[in-house]
Amino acid sequence: MKELRYSAYLLKHSTLAMLGIIIVVGIVIVTVFAVFIAPYGPEVRVWENKFQFPSLQHLFGTDDRGGDIFSRVVYGYQLDLSISVSVVIIAGTIGTVAGSIAGFLGSRFDEGIMRITDVFLAVPSLILAMAFGAVLGRTPVNLAIALALTWWPVYARLVRGQVLVEKQKLYVEAARAAGGGPLRVLFKHVLPNSIYPILVNATLDLGAVILTVASLSFLGFGVEPGIAELGRMVADGRAYVFTYPWVVAFPGFAILFASLGFNLVGDGLRDILDPRLRR
């Protein structure tokens, strides 16, 4: 309990971490209550209103098809955050299980799993995601699956390293001496003590996945044109960046804030959960 209170104290007095929390909480609120916050639907188009300057009626202006950019940014956050959370959960689960088994059981398990991760890590993740996305199809669900298939090796290597350290400690020997089987010792004792780096990495990855989703959509390997997704909005408006800059600026700043918020929270968690980094 004292450790938890001390961690809360450190978090409260970390200006950057608190700023990140405020940004992330704001994004989550926008995502959850998008239907109430957005004045228009994501697919509503009024051609007569195209390229309107930001005003009280259209806070972020309108795009080349008369769509309200503010509403589309709100729904873009909803889509991008749902994809990002799905990718982190799927990749984190696969990577944690694979890395735990590789690190704890060792031998052939370790060799086989690590060689598979080497194959995935040998190819740049963006290119690999583009390949999977092209094969699976350009839908949000397929995009999440494609990114999860490229992201899990990072978690596998991270967890393997943590498990290799933890399994050498005395409490593991005590659990084995008490009659605990390998899987019981792994998932009941070793893995819970290796979870903190995973949480930090997952928080950082939420922002990284949003950036990757936006990049894929910008390159044409993400969602279909016209869908309210932040990277897709930047791609659709790039031809008007000098004449109607708000068409690109607001979706671009939305991506920036999301990535910044999750990175600040992740850095704050890392400083708090790792005593060696506490200042």
Give the start-to-end residue ranges of the domains of the chain: 2-277
pTM score, two decimals? 0.85
Task: Give the number of other Cβ atoms within 10 Å of residue 206's Cβ.
Answer: 23
pLDDT for 4: 56
Fold of the domain built from segment(s) 2-277:
MetI-like fold (1.10.3720)
pLDDT for 90: 93
Cα dihedral value 45, 47, 49, 50, nearest 10 = 90
**Where does the chain have alpha helices with state H?**
2-12, 15-32, 34-37, 69-105, 107-121, 125-136, 140-166, 170-177, 182-185, 195-219, 230-237, 246-273
How far, in Å, CA of 9 to CA of 11, rounded? 5
DSSP secondary structure string, 195-261? HHHHHHHHHHHHHHHHHHHHHHHHHTSSSPTTS--HHHHHHHHGGGTTTSTHHHHHHHHHHHHHHHH
pLDDT for 2: 52
How far, in Å, CA of 262 to CA of 258, rounded? 6
How far, in Å, CA of 43 to CA of 62, rounded? 12
pLDDT digits (tens, 9 = 90+) for 178-215: 776 667 777 777 777 778 788 888 888 898 899 988 88
Residues of the chain with pLDDT under 50: 277-279
Burial class (CB in 10 A: 0-12, 13-18, 19+), 7: middle
pLDDT for 7: 59
Q: What crossing angle do the helices spanning 69-105 and 195-219 adopt, rounded to 10°?
A: 130
How far, in Å, CA of 20 to CA of 144, rounded? 24
CB 260 within 8 A of CB 17: no
- Of 218, 219, 216, nearest to 143 by C-alpha is 216
